[in-house]
Structure 1
Amino acid sequence: MAFPDINDSFVKQFESEAHMEYQQMGSKLRNTIRTKAGITGESTTFQVIGNVDVGTKARNGKVPRSEASHAPVEVSLQDRYASVMIDDLDELKIQHDERGVQAKNIAAAMGQDTDDIILTAMDASANSNNVSTAETFSAAATPIGIMEDFGNASIPFDGELYACVCWEAWGDLLDLDEFSNADYVPSEQLWFEGVTAKKWLGFNWFPHENLPVDGSSDAKCFYYHRSSTGHAIGQDYSQRIDYLAEYDSNQVMAKMSHGAGLIDDTACIERVYNSA
C-alpha cells in the first residue's frame, strides 16, 4: 500500500515561504561582514594582508621594498539543523496557517543561530580598546570616543563601519540630540525589515536583542568594520518537508552549513553596556 504523498503545490508553496521568511526575519549581522559562499570541504581561509611601507631612495639606490605579510585565518563549517513536526490531522482542526507559522518559526531560529555564530567569533576580539566595565551613553562623548579609536587605528570610514548595540543602548542613543535630532544627522535609512538603522559618526548603528552578556548580565556591544569578520557558507539555508508515516506527521526540516571567524580584531571593538 502506498503511503500518502504531500501535494506538490503544498511543498512548493512552503519552500517559497521559508526562503522569503529567512530573508525577512533572518540574520541581522550576515550582510555586515565578509561572506564567502560555495565552500567545499569542512573549512576555508580568509587572508589578512599586512601593511606596506613607503620611503625614499638615494640616487642610484634601491627602491624600498616591503614584505607584506599574509596571515590566513581558518574558519570551520558547522552543520546546523532545525525541525518541527506537524500532525497531519491537526492541520484539519486549526484555524491558522500552520505552514506559515512554522516557516516563520524556523526562519527566525536559523537567523538567530547565524547571528550567534558570528557574535561568538567577534567575542574573541582582543582589541586594546575593548571595554569590560559596563558603560552608558549618557552623553555623546562615549560614542565619539569610539569613533576616535577607529580613526586612530587607521580604520577607513568608507561606509562599512557598524555599531551593533543592545536595545538599552539604542534607547539611550535616542535621548541624545546628536543622534536623534535631524539638525545633527541625515534622514534614517531602513536597511533590514522592521528595524531602522542610523548612520552617525561614520557608523551604521542598529539594535540587536541577542547579544552575548558578561558575568553581570550586561550586554556586549560590537563596533566593527565589515572586513574584520568572515562568514563562510558551505550550503546556504534550505528546507524540505517529508511525510513520516509512523508519526502520521509532516516533518519540516531546515539546514545550513556555515561558520564564522574573526579575521582582524584591529577593526572589531567590544564594549560592555549597562543593560542588566
Structure 2
Amino acid sequence: MSFQITEAFIQQFADNFKHVAQQTQSRLERCVTPEPNIVGMSKSVNRMGQRTAQRRTQRHADTPINDQPHSTRFVDLFDWDDGDMLDDQDKIRMLVDPTSDYVKAMVAALNRAKDDVIIEAFGGVSRATAGGILLPTSQKIAVGGSGLTKAKILQTRKMFRKNEADNHNGEELFITYSAQAAADILADPQLTSADYLAGKFLQDGDIEGKWMGFTWIPSERTPWDGATRRLYAWTKSGVVLGTGQEIKTKVGEDPSKAFNTRVYAKQSIGSVRVEEEKVVEIAVAEAA
C-alpha cells in the first residue's frame, strides 16, 4: 500500500451558498402607511384634528366660524447602504461566482433595516412642529412581572376602542409577537382554551391571520434588554414609512481596485408615528 496515495485525493468545493438563518423580508412595511417618492431630507405629514359641533340656540343666528385644529409630523429620511468587494481570484479559488448571493444578502439586510426604522418610530420621539413628541405613559402597558397574557391583550384592545382607533372606524390593527410571547400564549390556559387556538395555534405553534382583532406579526427585533421585551400594537394609519429611494443594487468593475467586482446596495427611508392614540407599547417579561 502506498502511503503517498493521499496526494491524489481531491477537495470538492461547493457550487452554491447556503444563507444562514435570518429574516430576509420586511415584515412591517406592509403594515404601515407608505409615503413614497419623497424628494429632499424630509416630508411633512399633515394632521387634521377633531372638531366639536355647537348647538344652535337662536333663529337667524350668524353662521359659526370655528378654527379647524391642525398639526404636523415630519418623516425624516436617512440613507442606508452596504457593500463588498470580490476579487476575480476569489471566484477562481471558489469555483463559483458568489455575486448574486452577496446581492441577496445585502437586500435582506436592508429589508431588516426597514423594520428597525419602523420599530423605532413605534416607541421613539416623533418630530412635530411643536418639538419632539413622546409616546405617553397612557399608551404603555407595564411589564408587571408577566409575559404576554390575555389580560394584556384585552387591555390593548380596550385602549384602541377607547381611542376610537379600531375596526369600528375602519382601522386595521396589527401586533408584534416574539418567540417567547408565543410560548406565553401556549402556556396560558385562558388563551389555549379558545376554539381558534385549539384548532390552529396548538397544531401549528404559530399565529396566522387575525386573532382577537389583531393581525399578528412575528418579530425578534423589537427592543429587548435581556429581561423585558417591548411589543407593539398599532393601526396601519398610525405610522408612516417614507421612502426617498427604494432598495437599489449595483454590481460593476471598480477601476480603482484592479477592476475587481464591487457589490453595492442602498436605500433612503424614514418613519414617524403620526398619532400616539394609534400605537400601544406592551412590556412583557422575557428572559434570555
Asked if these proteins are the same fold (TM beyond 0.5), I'd say yes
In 1, Cα distance between equivalents of 2:75 and 2:113: 17
* 2:189 is aligned with 1:165: no
Work out whether residues 159 and 202 of structure 1, in 8 Å CA contact, stay in contact via their aligned partners in 2: no
2:29 alignment counterpart: 30
Percent of residue pairs bearing the same amino acid type:
22
> In structure 2, the residue corresponding to 1:108 is in which secondary structure?
helix
> In structure 2, the residue corresponding to 1:252 is in which secondary structure?
strand
In 2, Cα distance between equivalents of 1:271 and 1:83: 36
In 2, Cα distance between equivalents of 1:54 and 1:95: 75
> In structure 1, the residue corresponding to 2:50 is in which secondary structure?
coil
Give the stretch that moved more between structures: 82-91 or 199-208. Answer: 82-91
> What are the Cα deviations for residues 16-73 of structure 1, in whole angstroms up to 9, with x where unaligned?
xxxxxxxx93211111111111111111011221112244323524566653312110
**1:76-225 residue pairs with structure 2 within 5 A?**
76-94=76-94, 98-124=98-124, 125-133=135-143, 136-137=146-147, 139-157=149-167, 158=170, 160-176=172-188, 183-184=195-196, 197-214=208-225, 216-225=226-235
Work out whether residues 175 and 231 of structure 2, in 8 Å CA contact, stay in contact via their aligned partners in 1: yes
1:268 alignment counterpart: 279
In 1, Cα distance between equivalents of 2:212 and 2:268: 35
2:57 alignment counterpart: 58
> In structure 1, the residue corresponding to 2:224 is in which secondary structure?
coil
Structure 1, unaligned stretches of length 5 or more?
Answer: 1-23, 189-194
Structure 2, unaligned stretches of length 5 or more?
Answer: 1-22, 125-134, 201-205
Work out whether residues 139 and 279 of structure 2, in 8 Å CA contact, stay in contact via their aligned partners in 1: no
> In structure 1, the residue corresponding to 2:221 is in which secondary structure?
coil
In 2, Cα distance between equivalents of 1:102 and 1:227: 35
In 2, Cα distance between equivalents of 1:196 and 1:104: 28
Work out whether residues 56 and 64 of structure 1, in 8 Å CA contact, stay in contact via their aligned partners in 2: no
> In structure 2, the residue corresponding to 1:52 is in which secondary structure?
coil
Work out whether residues 229 and 285 of structure 2, in 8 Å CA contact, stay in contact via their aligned partners in 1: yes
Q: CA deviation at 1:128?
A: 0.7
In 2, Cα distance between equivalents of 1:95 and 1:274: 49
> In structure 2, the residue corresponding to 1:219 is in which secondary structure?
strand
1:192 alignment counterpart: none
In 1, Cα distance between equivalents of 2:267 and 2:274: 22
> What are the Cα deviations for residues 197-241 of structure 1, in whole angstroms up to 9, with x where unaligned?
331121111210111224x54221101111111111111111101
Give the letter aligned to residue 77 of structure 1: L
In 2 relative to 1, CA 196–185 (structure 1 residues): closer, same or farther, beyond 3 Å? closer
In 2 relative to 1, CA 198–65 (structure 1 residues): closer, same or farther, beyond 3 Å? farther
- The count of residues paired between Structure 1 and Structure 2 equals 246
In 2 relative to 1, CA 38–62 (structure 1 residues): closer, same or farther, beyond 3 Å? same
In 2, Cα distance between equivalents of 1:133 and 1:196: 22
> In structure 1, the residue corresponding to 2:195 is in which secondary structure?
coil
Give the letter aligned to residue 162 of structure 1: F
In 1, Cα distance between equivalents of 2:148 and 2:248: 44
Work out whether residues 148 and 181 of structure 2, in 8 Å CA contact, stay in contact via their aligned partners in 1: no
